[in-house]
Amino acid sequence: MSLTGLFLCSFLVIHLIGNFQLLYNDGGVAFNEYAKFMTSFAPIKIVSYGLYGSILLHALVGIGIFLQNRKAKGSKYAVRTNKNNSKAAGRMALWGSIMFVFIIWHMSMFWAAMKFRLKPDAETGVKDLYAEVVGAFSHEWVVLLYVLSMVVIALHLNHGFQSAFQTLGLNHKKYTPLIKVVGTAFSILVCLGFAIIPIVMYIQSMN
Ligand code: HEM
C-alpha cells in the first residue's frame, strides 16, 4: 500500500509539471509534443503499465484493509486503540473511492481520446490533445467537478503520505511531525496546482 502510494505520488508530481504546459501561450504546441512523446516512447509506456497496475493494486489492497477493519470493529475482540485507525481507514476508503471514480472519468476524457478518438496530423503525426482539454475545461460543470475532486484528493494524500512512512517503519518523535508537515504541504501544493489548470483554462475560454 505504502510503496504503490509513494509511486503514485511521484507520478502526480511529473503529471502536474507536464500539465503546466497547457498554460503556455503557444496554442498547445509544447503540450501536444509532450503528450506524443509520453505515449510513444517505449520506456515511458512500460512505466505507464506499472502505473495502471499500481492504481489497481493500491485500490484492491485498500478495499481489503477497509473490509478487515470493518470485520474487526464488528467482532467482540475489537480493541479501543484500533478505533482511530479504523476511522481513518474508513475515511481513506471513502476519499480513495471518489478518487478512483475521478481517475476513470478523467481517463475516459483524455487518455481514451489520445489512444482511440483523436486522429494524428497527416504531416507531423501529432494529435491535438490540447484542443480536447480546452474543450473539456470550457464547461463550468467539468471545472467545478475537477476542483471538488482535487479537494478530495488533497484529503486522501494528506493522510496517505504520513501513513506511508509510518507503514515503512518510520515512527519517530522528531521526524514524524516533520513528515506530517511535508505531507500536508505536498497535498495542498499538488492539488492547488492541478485545480489552477482548469480554472485558468476556463477563464481563457471565456475571452
Ligand atoms: C488539471 C488536472 C489534470 C489535467 C489537465 C490532466 C490531464 C491529463 C491528460 C491530458 C491525460 C492524457 C495524457 C496521455 O494520454 O498521455 C491524462 C492522463 C492521466 N491522468 Fe491526468 N490530468 C489532471 C489531473 C490528474 C489527477 C489529479 C490524477 C490522479 C489522481 C490524474 C491521473 C491520470 C492518469 C492515471 C492518466 C493516465 C496516464 C498514462 O496513461 O500514463 N490526472 N491526464
pLDDT at position 38 over 50:
yes
- Atom 12 of ligand 1, residue of closest alpha carbon: 111
Q: Measured in angstroms, how far is the CA atom of residue 15 from the centroid of ligand 1?
A: 7
Helix-then-strand count for the chain, H and E: 8, 0
Encoded amino acid at 37, one letter = F
What digits encode the pLDDT tens for the residues 67-110? 988 888 765 544 444 556 677 878 999 999 999 999 999 999 99
Q: Measured in angstroms, how far is the CA atom of residue 152 from the centroid of ligand 1?
A: 16
What digits encode the pLDDT tens for the residues 155-193? 999 999 989 998 898 888 888 999 999 999 999 999 999
Q: Which of 23-27, 90-94, 117-121, 123-127 is predicted with the least confidence, judged by mean pLDDT? A: 90-94
What residue spans define the domains of the chain?
2-206
The answer, yes or no, to whether any atom of ligand 1 lies below 6 A from the CB of 133, is yes
* Grid cell listed for 158: 494528506
- Angle at the Cα of 115 (from 4 to 138), degrees rounded to 5? 90
Residue with cell 497527416: 122
Ligand 1 probe mutation, 22, 40, 110, most atoms within 8 A of CB = 110
Q: Which atom of ligand 1 is nearest to the CA of 99?
A: 30
Average pLDDT score over residue span 190-207: 97
The CA distance from 21 to 34, in Å, is: 9
The answer, yes or no, to whether any atom of ligand 1 lies below 6 A from the CB of 30, is no
Q: Dihedral of the CA atoms 126, 129, 135, 140 (nearest 10)? A: -160
From its phi and psi, is residue 178 left (phi > 0), alpha (psi between -120 and 50) or beta?
alpha
Q: What is the pLDDT of residue 83?
A: 57
Q: Which atom of ligand 1 is nearest to the CA of 137?
A: 5
Whether residue 89 contacts residue 69, with contact meaning beta carbons closer than 8 Å, is answered with yes
The CA distance from 168 to 82, in Å, is: 19
Q: What is the pLDDT of residue 78?
A: 45
Q: Which atom of ligand 1 is nearest to the CA of 31?
A: 10
Q: Give the single-character DSSP code of 26.
A: S
Those residues with Cβ within 8 angstroms of residue 54's Cβ, 6 or more apart along the chain or in another chain: 4, 7, 8
Q: What is the pLDDT of residue 76?
A: 54
Q: Measured in angstroms, how far is the CA atom of residue 177 from the centroid of ligand 1?
A: 31
Whether residue 195 contacts residue 147, with contact meaning beta carbons closer than 8 Å, is answered with yes
Instruction: Give the CATH architecture of domain 2-206.
Output: Up-down Bundle (1.20)
What digits encode the pLDDT tens for the residues 52-74? 999 999 999 999 989 988 888 76
Q: What is the pLDDT of residue 79?
A: 47
* Grid cell listed for 75: 467482532
Q: What is the pLDDT of residue 71?
A: 85
Q: Measured in angstroms, how far is the CA atom of residue 16 from the centroid of ligand 1?
A: 8
* Grid cell listed for 98: 471518489
User: CB under 8 Å, gap of 24 or more: what pairs does 110-115 form?
Assistant: 110/136, 114/35, 114/39, 115/39
Total residues found in the chain within this entry: 207
pTM of the model: 0.93
The answer, yes or no, to whether any atom of ligand 1 lies below 6 A from the CB of 19, is yes
pLDDT at position 21 over 50:
yes
